Amino acid sequence: MTSDADRMLPSREPVMLLDPDGRPTVAARAGLPASEELLRGLAGMVVARRFNEQASALVRQGRLAVYPSSYGQEACQVAAAQVLTGEDWLFPTYRDTAAAVARGVDPVEVLGLLKGDWHSGYDPYERHVAPLTTPLATQLPHAVGVAHAARLRGERTVVLAMCGDGGTSEGDFHEALNFAAVFRAPVVFFVQNNQYAISVPLARQSAAPSLAHKGVGYGIPGEHVDGNDLAALLDVLSGAVGRARAGEGPQLVEGRTYRMQAHTNADDATRYRADDEVAAWAAKDPLVRLEAYLRTEGVLDDARAADLTEAAEQVARRTRDGLNQDVEPDPDDLFRFVYSQPTPQLVEQLAVVRDEISRDEQSRDEQSREETR
């Protein structure tokens, strides 16, 4: 880390390597990520877009209780997963389901929490993806703890912790940054600034020049990047991860993007934002931007684009089929995962629940026998 405040400050404007029409910017003269990495990113974004659409449809069909869509934020979602290695950890929020899928978590398991079937929905240790977190920013101190522990053990692990612009208003955000800076934890804080905390616009949340500037007060270098430009995201986030891995301490990255859809299916976004505002951001669609560039470069053609679409459709089909299966809950799970060793109180409560279930089953059996006489 550096005590030079000037070196901590983000660039004057968000880093952009591809403009909304897919043309390389002046900043791209220093180089773009490899075409293979960009094509891999596009494939991930096509899956993420289709996954968002399918999950929203499952809400309307009653298969999900709620779904906070990341439609329009796919570049941030995919880049966050793509810059990490297998030994690294991802700490997502409730909106980062597409990032978890991009990290390799089964899409059906990712949605398990939002369906209400399971405590987390997936095994966090399998893909090094922490549980989706609904309370704002509470995952950030946990992420710093994992990063600090890895550093003490001499591991090369880096933790990428995601949050939204609304999360930066929480005490956990500030505590996590201070903790990380003091102990030089190898963690990258990635703020997806989608312009709204539910209905509260960014201007009512912060008076800072950018959310990336918030790192300076803790001694953490910050950078902001066009959150709809996958090329720029890969460049900035991979650089931040590399510095954290090299022992330079925590990094803060703000991705400026936009929540194209409502906060969740229970929200009416038309009550607090205008249609022309949404239309202006729709013109900056991250998928359209990257596809235009890759087609110009001859990396993408219609046949390959069709393959990407079919692969995404397979994910949607598997998600749809999995969520349409009814799960028989095991009441013991209410107690099985509270502590590694159950307390006497839990053992007692489990016995009560089992007894109530047993008596209920006996009562139904007796009623059935009465009806058949």
Segments making up each domain of the chain, as ranges: 4-324, 333-372
Q: Are 159 and 188 in contact (CB under 8 A)?
A: yes
Q: Are 169 and 214 in contact (CB under 8 A)?
A: no
Q: Over its length of 373 residues, how does the chain's per-residue pLDDT go in tens digits?
A: 555 677 889 999 999 999 999 999 999 999 999 999 999 999 999 999 999 999 999 999 999 999 999 999 999 999 999 999 999 999 999 999 999 999 999 999 999 989 887 678 899 999 999 999 999 999 999 999 999 999 999 999 999 999 999 999 999 999 999 999 999 999 999 999 999 999 999 999 999 999 999 999 999 999 999 999 999 999 999 999 999 999 999 999 999 999 999 999 989 999 999 999 999 999 999 999 999 999 999 999 999 999 999 999 999 999 999 999 887 888 898 898 889 999 999 999 999 999 999 999 898 888 878 777 6
Q: State residue 3's pLDDT score.
A: 57
4-324 CATH fold: Rossmann fold (3.40.50)
**What distance in Å separates the CA atoms of residue 24 and residue 17, rounded to the nearest whole number?**
6
**Which of 272, 336, 359, 364 does the annotation list as catalytic?**
272
**What distance in Å separates the CA atoms of residue 32 and residue 321, rounded to the nearest whole number?**
39
**Which of 50, 151, 256, 263 does the annotation list as catalytic?**
263
**What distance in Å separates the CA atoms of residue 235 and residue 253, rounded to the nearest whole number?**
11
Q: State residue 104's pLDDT score.
A: 98
**Angle (deg, nearest 10), helices 171-182 and 139-152:** 10
**What distance in Å separates the CA atoms of residue 21 and residue 241, rounded to the nearest whole number?**
28
Q: What is the number of residues in the chain?
A: 373
Torsion of CA 105, 83, 251, 258, to 10 degrees: -70
Whole-model pTM: value is 0.92
**What distance in Å separates the CA atoms of residue 74 and residue 41, rounded to the nearest whole number?**
10
User: How do the residues of the chain divide into helix, strand and coil, expressed in percent and rounded to 5?
Assistant: 55, 10, 40
Burial class (CB in 10 A: 0-12, 13-18, 19+), 79: buried
Beta bridge partners of 27: none
Contacts of 7 (CB under 8 A, 6+ apart): 221
Told to judge if 263 belongs to the known catalytic residues of this protein, a careful annotator would answer: yes
Amino acid identity of 6? D
**What distance in Å separates the CA atoms of residue 126 and residue 265, rounded to the nearest whole number?**
30
**What distance in Å separates the CA atoms of residue 13 and residue 10, rounded to the nearest whole number?**
8
Burial class (CB in 10 A: 0-12, 13-18, 19+), 135: exposed
**What distance in Å separates the CA atoms of residue 228 and residue 172, rounded to the nearest whole number?**
27
**Which of 303, 141, 291, 320 is CA-nearest to residue 231?**
291
Helix (H) or strand (E) holding 136: none
Cα-trace Rg, the chain: 23
Q: DSSP string covering 317-347, please? A: HHHHHHHTSPP---TTHHHHTT-SS--HHHH
Told to judge if 259 belongs to the known catalytic residues of this protein, a careful annotator would answer: yes
**What distance in Å separates the CA atoms of residue 285 and residue 73, rounded to the nearest whole number?**
9
Reduced to 3 states, what is the DSSP secondary structure of residue 253? strand
Told to judge if 71 belongs to the known catalytic residues of this protein, a careful annotator would answer: no
**Which of 269, 139, 134, 136 is CA-nearest to residue 196?**
269
Q: Are strands 200-201 and 196-197 parallel, antiparallel or unpaired?
A: antiparallel
**Which of 63, 224, 256, 259 does the annotation list as catalytic?**
259
